[in-house]
Structure 1
Amino acid sequence: MGMERLDGARRGARGGRTLARETASQIKQFIIASRLHPGDPLPSEAELCERLGVSRSSVREAIRTLNTLEIVEVQHGRGTFVGQASLQPLVETLVFRAVMVPGDDFKALREVVEVRESLDLSEADRVCARLRGTRNADLHDLVDIMVAAAERGESFGEEDREFHTRLLKHTGLDIIAQLVAAFWDVHSVVLPQLSIPAPDDIELTARAHGDMLCAAEAGDSQAYRRAVRDHYAPLRRVLERTDHG
């Protein structure tokens, strides 16, 4: 009898989770169909129950899930609002996967680097087309800061991230910029956890940012792609040495 009750409880829990997932999907569809934007309020819990035909517990569980994913934002005392839907949950999941996967400790990091490079290369034509003939003083300033830091033997991670995301935002590629920033964040967290030293020739990476920018402003997509590969070359070399060391 005890086992039967336990099995029934497990089935009930699984059913509850399934219903909560379905409710979460319905809430997302409601947000899309209603053309709501980040910061817009959602209906009250009671209204959602009535609209979706589900229980309060299902709505609460669904809201908790969506809040974790930053699809909605719960403001206690005020209500629930459409969230920013940032990529931070993706970053945290990828970081966890990268440092917890058994066996090849460097496989996940190599893949992250490959994704970063692929994203930069894939947008070469659009970046160069949109920045051709322009002068982007803010990006040139970032390049100068990175080169100066590299010459002093200092890191320039914050400026590196800002350069890549701002470059893409200048071209209107906001979603790609978010993806680039997300994978940069994974990279920056995982790298020190694997005790990988900074490349000896990191100055080449700093200067490659300037080459990327000049190529984009000249509308030269081939030169841009060469600069992207030069940018990642020092990191690829240090990964290869560490992996085989």
Structure 2
Amino acid sequence: MSEEPRNTRQAAAGERRVGTQIRRDVMQLILDRRLPPGAPLPTEAELMESLGVSRNSVREALKALQALDIVEIRHGYGTYVGQASLTPLVDGLTFRTLAGVADDHAALTEILQIREVLEEGLIRRVADGIGDDGLARLESIVGRMEGAARAGEAFPDLDRTFHETLYDTLGNALVPQLLAAFWNVYHRVAKVRGWTSDPAPAVTACRHRDILTALRARDVAGAERAMADHFRGIEARSGQATLGVR
């Protein structure tokens, strides 16, 4: 039996290990130098010298880091620190969910459950600390939801804005990014599968009104129940969509 395939596999494995180490070294360089998003990285020649690797290895590592939004390659200008957004997470989760073709509902339910755990846990903190300004902003959004519902119109953008505004009061920049990630996955999958929007805008508006009413009353348990009811409705609609119910 020829040794060539085995040698080829070993060489490929070695290249992957080297590539992984170079990526880690570049990330460590960014951390060590405290480079903010948008800051220029050393040139390819400088990275080659400091890391002791070839130009091709540096380029491959930078391409991989660009896919993760850790670096940004601007052709003709250089390489810069990326935003490190959650876009790669959204892309990966969307693919994973769509790849579960044998059971769309089960795959999507996993995404909803994670978002539900996050929101039901966070709503307690919101209820404890939301001020009059936050309540006023939520009141404006719910009022527009109710107006759209009376006209028989769905309002996915208002729904999203409500949840983003709800957690703005926490002052945690990662929370809205995570929630937006799961929101984007859900709606990307819905669009690909051809699922319809909320068939009962009035019910959705009512559920958001219930959340706001509990927050106004500083009723932590009531806010948690209202949020749970909201997610029960989302899960029910998702199940109907995957079964072909419109």
TM range (shorter): 0.7 to 0.9
**Aligned match of 1:76:** 75
Most deviating of 73-82 and 158-167 = 158-167
CA contact under 8 A between 1:198 and 1:238: conserved in structure 2? no
Alignment of 1:141-152 (within 5 A): 141-152=140-151
Distance 1:218 1:42, change over 3 A: farther
Query: Which stretch has the larger CA shift, 180-189 or 92-101?
Result: 92-101
Which 5+ residue runs of structure 2 have no aligned equivalent?
none
Residue-by-residue CA offset, 1:100-152 (whole Å, 9 max, x unaligned): 22421211111111111111111122212231454443333222222222332
Percent identity over the alignment is 39
Supply the AA of the counterpart residue of 1:13. A
- Shift of the 49–192 alpha-carbon distance from structure 1 to 2, 3 Å rule, reads same
TM-score (norm 1): 0.88
SS of match in other structure, 1:84: coil
**In the alignment, residue 41 of structure 1 is paired with which amino acid?**
P
Structure 1 CA distance for aligned equivalents of residues 85 and 36 of structure 2: 13
Displacement after TM superposition at 1:4 (Å): 4.1
The answer as to whether partners of 1:72 and 1:80 remain within 8 angstroms in 2 is yes
**What amino acid maps onto 1:237 in structure 2?**
A
**Matches of 1:225 and 1:194, distance apart in 2:** 31
1:150-208 residue CA offsets vs partner (Å, 9 max, x unmatched): 33232212222222123222321211111100000011111233344444434222232
Distance 2:24 2:215 in 1: 41
Q: Counterparts of 1:1-245 in structure 2 under 5 Å?
A: 4-242=3-241
Aligned partners of 2:81, 2:26: CA distance in 1, in Å?
Answer: 10
Matched length: 244
- Distance between the aligned counterparts of 1:31 and 1:218, measured in 2? 47
Distance 1:77 1:83 in 2: 17
**SS of alignment partner, residue 104 of structure 2:** coil
In structure 1, C-alpha distance between the alignment counterparts of 2:111 and 2:223, rounded to whole Å: 21
Residue segments in structure 1 that go unaligned for 5+ positions in a row = none
Give the AA of the match of 2:231: Y
What is the alpha-carbon distance in structure 1 between the residues aligned to residue 165 and residue 235 of structure 2? 24
